[in-house]
Amino acid sequence: MAGPALDVSQLSRRFEQRQILDHLDLRVAQGELVAIVGESGSGKSTLLNLIAGLDQPDAGSIRIDGQDLASLDDDARTRLRRAQLGFVFQSFHILPHLRIGQNIELPLVLLGIDAGERRQRVAELLDAVGLADRVGSLPRQLSGGELQRVAVARALVHRPVLVLADEPTGNLDAETAALVMRLLAAQIRGRGAAGVLVTHSAAAAALADRVLLLRQGHLHPQVPDAR
Amino acid sequence: MLWLWWQLIIRYAWTYRLRTAVQVLAITVGVALGYAVSLINTAALAEFNAALREINGEADAVIEGSRTGFDEQLFARVARDPGVQLASPVLATDVLVAGTADEHPPRLTVLGIDVLRAAPLSPTLMGDASGTAESAASRFAIFGDGILLSPSALARFDVAVGDLLTVQAGSATVALKVRGTLPGVRPGSLLGVMDLGFAQWRLGGLGRLTRIDLRLADGVSPETLRARLDLPPGVNLSGPDATSARLANLSWAYRVNLNVLALVALFTGGFLVFSLQAQGTLARRAQFAWLRATGLERRQLERLLVAEAVSIGTVGSILGLFAGVAIARAALGALGGDLGGGYFNVGQPPLGFTLLTAAGFAALGILAAVAGSYLPAREAAHAPPAAALHAGGEEDVLRPLGRAWPGLALLAAAAVLLSLPPVSGVPLPAYLAIGAILIGAIALQPRIARLVSRPLADWLQTARAGTHAPMLLLAANRMVQAPGSAAIAMAGIVASFGLMVAMGTMVSSFRGTLDGWLVQVLPADLYARVGQSMTDAWLPPADLERISAHPGVRHVEFSRAVPLQLAADRAAVVVVARNIDAADPGTSLPLVGRSLAWQPDQPPPVWVSEAMVDLYGAQPGGTLELPLAGSLHRFSVLGVWRDYARQFGSVAMRATDYQRITGDVTRTDAAIWLRPGVQAADVSRELLQTLDSREVIELRAPDEIRALSLRIFDRSFAVTYVLEAAAILIGMIGVAATFSSQAMARSREFGMLRHIGVTRGQILRALALEGTLATLNAILVGLLAGLVIALVLIRVINPPPFHWSMQLIVPLKLIAGLIAALLVCATGTAAIAGRRAVSSSPLRAVHEDW
């Protein structure tokens, strides 16, 4: 049996006088989508940044597909993100001066994938998110919901092991948010990736396989009624 | 990386093409000006050296004395020396041409040569007498009398072969028959050739030569021959390079400063690139963070941004090279080969291109762009992606700009650099100090902005004025809380305004000091002069009598200016023999410091100019040896005087001493004091009717001389004025571009303000006030930096190459005008830029991150 896509063990992080994360454990299996909820300032984004290797913990370990982040320098962590991680952000972060197709293929370019295969994969992902006819459009020609679907496509185009989504529906209306979340969940599971979703939205969390509450630096299973 | 470069850099540049265009323009202007100055200097020097080779021919060495020449007996001794294969005697004279309509009588260089000896060494001086009455087979016959003129001289003086050309040589007016042309002489060269004996007789040089051109025997060097020959004082033997070096040195200081001023434009352009690149990087902060999060390595991002700078620099440099050629052509046409400096007489020389020079300036342009982009690129690459992924926090990125120590360290470095000596005569440490002062001032700008704005913000917060001026409160608070943004926007302004203040103050100081000096050295009511000190003409004795005897003249002082060659590779020093009271020389000379007392048992007294102190080490209390009348004479140096008319050194001595030593009673200049009620114009008109030298004499009132001198000064500094204008233009373009860029980046902020009830008009007012406050701060910093740099220019940089000191005179009106123009530009631009930013829907502004 394959190991977990994400294995976080005894993770701690402190900012100034505050203990944000305190010996936190988290394991996410391949194909599993985990939602993390919590109050503002509870450390959800900090946890995501640590998992992504964008920040360094004070203690504990993080393994992505068996690779321990602590053993990697900044460039190596960057290369790991390039190959193994996908990101979906609340603010989309779509590059405004690139066409939709070019935005999506950017991770493939970084991996050195040739143009032919890039085109093929971009077409596949755009089709999966229902934007097959927008490959040549500019970002300003798309709505917020469409842009977030582009972001989902971009997060998955390079077949990552783990997708990290930070409030992916924060800027969307309820209906669009539900659509994007269903799409994200389906694509993550369908491609055998693991997903960690940080959200305030109960509806978004409901689509996850597990919901964890981050409180006082620890993760607690969220009971179904509390969702 | 190529894909990334194309998609992330080039497409981005096209999307924001206005900002890109401004950055490219900044580099283009800098490279264009620098390249143009380099092209002009190279063309002019090449032309001048070519003209020199024409005159000097193929000589291996040259024996030269002062313009008064040396005994021709020396020639016989030199020609007999076994180290000399061929010796060609020359009498070189600069005469004034009479009968032209010019404001100043034009100068003609006449070479008296022995045609048999000169032919192998100077074939271009062999004339063409075809079309004359003499036998065409015997070109030597035409050298019996008359003169051959270069084609340019024929045109200039409007004479043809067979006509008479009237010149003044010495005190005599001489009519010479034009016997033929010098077709081999280059265009623009005003040259005449005569038979040596005829020239000595007609031009007042009997028994004298000024030059002996030599072809040396195999294996003999100029140094070897110099050691063997016992040359009289004031006569030097040098290789041809020394002459070329001397003439290059004539304009070296002027050319070096021109090159530096041109580099100033490039430097300012680099600061503008920094402003825009920093803002552009800040605006793309989240994008870069996403790229880093997605897997772009730090080094890759840094390389991409440097590639962006190289792209901007390359395009700007290529355009700059083309523009530089166009500017050079136009400048040569308008100002001549010396750009108005008065050092050359080469007309409009052709431009020559070398790949190396063009590549060098292109590299400088790219370097300026990279230098301006490096810090923003490094910051973007090293910024923690986690923080940058979330909107806001831009000012946190800029918070390190508020640290005082980098700016203070740079200013301290500038102080150290100013204490270092010049490098090979170029005040390079001082130029680097100027760079350090500017960058240090820009680095301190956020700190100063906060210091200056905080009292205003605090007062508005509590005072009733704040209630009625909420936009001013908003603007002041932004200056306090976000000074980094303003600092980046204003970096270009600080640089360009600071440099403008510095150059404007330097020029104003020099001009004002020159004007004051002219008032001091022109106390008389009327001045008469025959030619300039580099010509061989003087006032006839009869004219001296006529001037003194004129009924309107109360008192006359005559003087004699004589050029002396003290060093082969330096321009001639001028001895000015005039009435000087050794007990009180300050009444005749504009002294720098006190004059020492003179005792009769000491050698005769002289007063040296500042250039003599720098170039020859002449000091008050010491002695100075001068070659006069064929031998060396020792003089006591009693003091130093300021002489702006003669950049390469002058020595003032009593006319009585000069006459006693040399026996020369001729005079070149007269200072005339008139009786009360007598008009200078009337005396001038009457003298011009009676004087023998009326065709060539110049009679001017002191106001005329002052006006003329200042016109020449303004022409010499024409290029400086152009470069000042370029610097301020770059700054103003920078203001427009950076405010525009910042306003667009703050769309979200404006959207939020609109949400809480601030109208579009109020936002625009706030932007205009921010623009005003930021510009005022930049002006303050730029003004302070500019004045300090002006002091560096005046006290440290200008004295070594130009050998003069000057007072500090700040051009208050010019600076006030510029400040007003900058404020209007900045305020207006901020408001106009804000219009576009507030025109979008507030909903869209707050809900989208782009």
pLDDT confidence of residue A227: 44
Taking the CA of residue A91 and the nearest CA in chain B, the distance in Å comes to 6
In a domain, A26, yes or no: yes
Q: Per mean pLDDT, which range of A200-214, B46-60, B826-840 is the poorest?
A: B46-60
The answer, for A89 touching chain B at a CB cutoff of 8 Å, is yes
Distance in Å, alpha carbon of B428 to nearest chain A alpha carbon? 41
B15 and A CB contact within 8 Å = yes
Cβ contact B173:B693 at 8 Å = yes
Residues 6+ positions from B817 with CB-CB distance below 8 Å: none
pLDDT of residue B144: 61
The C-alpha atoms of residue B518 and residue B756 are separated, in whole angstroms, by: 67
Lowest-confidence pick of A8-12, A189-193, B285-289, B668-672: B285-289
Residue predicted with more confidence, B109 or B331: B109
- CB of B3 within 8 Å of a chain A CB? The answer is yes
- A27 part of a folded domain: yes
Q: Cα dist. B634→B234, B577, B604, B631 in Å?
A: 13, 15, 8, 10
Q: Is B7 in Cβ contact with A78 (below 8 Å)?
A: no
B156-168 confidence digits (pLDDT tens): 899 998 899 998 8
pLDDT tens digits along B191-215 = 899 999 888 988 888 888 999 999 9
pLDDT in tens, B263-317: 777 777 777 777 777 777 777 877 888 888 888 888 888 888 889 989 999 999 9
Mean pLDDT of A203-211: 90
| A 198-217 residues with CB < 8 A to B | none
**Contact criterion met (CB < 8 Å) for A98 and B299:** no
- The pLDDT of residue B54 is 66
More confident residue, B213 or B759: B213
Contact call for residues B570 and B648 (beta carbons, < 8 A): yes
Token pair for B127: 């004339």
- Residue at A148 is within a domain: no
pLDDT of residue B735: 73
Cβ-defined contact of B4 to A107 (cutoff 8 Å):
no
What pLDDT is attached to residue A194? 94
Which of A82, A91, A110 is opposite residue B849, by nearest beta carbon? A91
Residue of B nearest to A87 (CA): B294
Please list every residue in chain A whose beta carbon sits closer than 8 Å to the beta carbon of residue B847.
144, 171
Kindly determine whether residue B850 and residue A139, on different chains, have CB atoms separated by under 8 Å.
yes
When scoring B1, B5, B7 by the number of chain A Cβ atoms within 10 A, the one with the most, hence best to mutate, is: B7
- Number of domain units in chain A: 1
Q: pLDDT > 90: what percent of chain B?
A: 24
Model confidence at B244, pLDDT cuts 50, 70, 90, reads low
Q: Report the distance separating Cα B371 and Cα B267, nearest Å.
A: 10
Say yes or no for a CB contact (<8 Å) between A78 and B286: no
Measured CA to CA, the distance from residue B632 to residue A158 in angstroms comes to 91
pLDDT surpasses 90 at A57:
yes
The pLDDT of residue A15 is 85
The structure tokens 């060494």 sit at: B121
Tell me which of A55, A97, A173 to substitute to probe the interface with B (most B C-beta atoms closer than 10 Å).
Answer: A97
CB contact under 8 A, A75 and B298: yes
Confirm whether A80 is domain-assigned: yes
In sequence order, the β-bridge partners of residue B319 are none
Asked if B294's CB is within 8 angstroms of A87's CB, the reply is: yes
User: Among all residues of chain A, which has the CA nearest to that of B384?
Assistant: A54
Q: How far apart are CA B765 and CA B834, in angstroms?
A: 9
Question: Residue B528: CA atoms inside 13 Å, Cβ hemisphere, count?
Answer: 32
- Residues of chain B contacting residue A144, judged by C-beta atoms under 8 Å apart: 847-848
* Mutation for testing the A interface, residue in B290, B301, B744 having most A CBs under 10 Å: B290
Is A91 in contact with B847 (Cβ distance < 8 A)?
A: no
More confident residue, B117 or B416: B416
Q: Taking residues B684-700, what's their average pLDDT?
A: 86
Please tell me the least confidently modeled range out of B48-52, B501-505, B635-639, B760-764: B48-52
Over residues A5-25, the mean pLDDT reads 92
On the question of pLDDT at A121 being above 70, the answer is yes
Inspect the interface and report whether the beta carbons of B7 and A98 lie closer than 8 Å: yes
Q: Write out chain A residues lying below 8 Å of B744, CB-based.
A: none
Q: Is B844 exposed, middle or buried (0-12, 13-18, 19+ CB in 10 A)?
A: exposed
Q: Is B784 on the interface with A (CB under 8 A)?
A: no
Among A91, A119, A156, A159, the strongest candidate for a mutation testing the B interface, having the largest count of B CBs within 10 A, is A91
- Cβ pair B592, B807 in contact under 8 A: no
Look at residue B141 in the predicted model and tell me its pLDDT. Answer: 47
Residue B641 has a pLDDT of 93
Residue B342 has a pLDDT of 55
Residue with tokens 């193994």: A84
Residue of B nearest to A45 (CA): B386
Confidence of residue B461 (pLDDT cuts 50, 70, 90): low
Secondary structure class of B343 (helix, strand, coil): coil
- The confidence score (pLDDT) of residue B712 equals 78
- The pLDDT confidence band at residue B843, using thresholds 50, 70 and 90, is very low
For residue A154, tell me if it sits in a domain: no
- Contact A109/B847, CB-based, under 8 Å? no
> From CA B589, how far away is CA B3, in angstroms rounded?
72
CB contact under 8 A, B294 and A110: yes
Instruction: Point out the residue among A49, A97, A111 whose CB comes nearest to the CB of B15.
Output: A97
Q: How far apart are the C-alpha atoms of B121 and B140, rounded to whole Å?
A: 16
What range defines the domain where residue A12 resides?
6-95+159-221
Strands, DSSP E only, in A71-175? 85-89, 162-166
Residue A109 has its nearest CB partner, among B4, B290, B292, at B4
Chain A nearest-CA distance from B384, in A, is: 7
pLDDT of residue B253: 63
Looking at residues B5-18, what average pLDDT do you find?
Answer: 84
Q: Would you call A176 an interface residue with chain B, using a CB distance cutoff of 8 Å?
A: no
Is B299's CB within 8 Å of A87's CB?
Answer: no
Residue B841 at interface with chain A, using a CB cutoff of 8 Å = no
Contacts of residue A160 in chain B, CB cutoff 8 Å? none
Chain A residue numbers touching B848 (CB-CB < 8 A): 144
User: Which of A106, A108, A119 to mutate against chain B (most B CBs within 10 Å)?
Assistant: A106
A144 touches chain B (CB under 8 A): yes
Contacts of A139 in chain B (CB under 8 A): 850
pLDDT of residue B463: 61
CA distance linking residue A210 with residue A28, whole number of Å: 10
Strands B172-181 and B147-149: what pairing? parallel
Angle made by CA atoms B473, B478, B483, in degrees to the nearest 5: 140
* pLDDT score, position B135: 44
CA dihedral defined by B363, B367, B368, B374, rounded to 10 degrees? 160
Nearest by CB: B389 against A78, A82, A89 = A89
The CA distance from A43 to the nearest CA of chain B, in Å, is 13
Q: Which of A56-60, B385-389, B785-789 has the lowest mean pLDDT?
A: B385-389
CB contact, 8 Å: A79 with chain B?
yes
Chain A residues with beta carbon closer than 8 angstroms to that of B3: 109
State whether B15 and A96 contact (CB < 8 Å): yes
B420 lies within 8 A of chain A by CB: no
pLDDT, mean over chain B: 82
A144 is a domain residue: no
In a domain, A1, yes or no: no
Q: Span B669-675, mean pLDDT?
A: 93
Distance in angstroms (rounded) separating the CA atoms of residues B409 and B671: 55
Interface test with B, best of A82, A95, A114, A158 (most B CBs within 10 A): A95
ipTM attached to this prediction: 0.74
Q: Is residue A132 part of a domain?
A: no
Interchain pair A89, B294: CB under 8 A? no
Mean pLDDT of all residues in chain A? 88
Query: Can you give the pLDDT at residue A195?
Result: 94
Q: What is the pLDDT of residues B353-407, one digit of tens each?
A: 788 889 998 998 898 888 878 877 887 788 777 766 665 555 555 666 667 888 8
Percent residues over pLDDT 70 in chain B: 84
Number of A–B residue contacts, CB under 8 Å: 77
**Amino acid B678: pLDDT:** 93
CA B608 to each of CA B235, B280, B369, B513, B522: distance values in angstroms, whole numbers, following the listed order = 22, 58, 47, 19, 19
Using CB atoms, pick whichever of A85, A95, A109 lies closest to residue B3: A109
What is the arithmetic mean of pLDDT over B496-506? 87
Helix (H, G, I), strand (E, B) or coil at B430: helix
At A213, which CATH number? 3.40.50.300
Does residue B534 register a pLDDT over 80? no
Look at A52 and B294 and tell me if their CB atoms are within 8 Å. Answer: no
More confident site: A192 or B570:
A192
Distance of alpha carbon B431 from alpha carbon B792, whole angstroms: 9
In the prediction, which pLDDT does B847 show? 42
Query: Is some CB atom of chain B closer than 8 A to the CB atom of A168?
Result: no
Cα B303 to chain centroid distance, Å, stands at 39
Query: What pLDDT, on a 0 to 100 scale, did the predictor assign at position B136?
Result: 43
Asked whether residue A150 carries a pLDDT value surpassing 90, the answer given is yes
Q: Does A225 touch chain B (CB under 8 A)?
A: no
Residues in A closer than 8 angstroms to B388, CB to CB, are: none
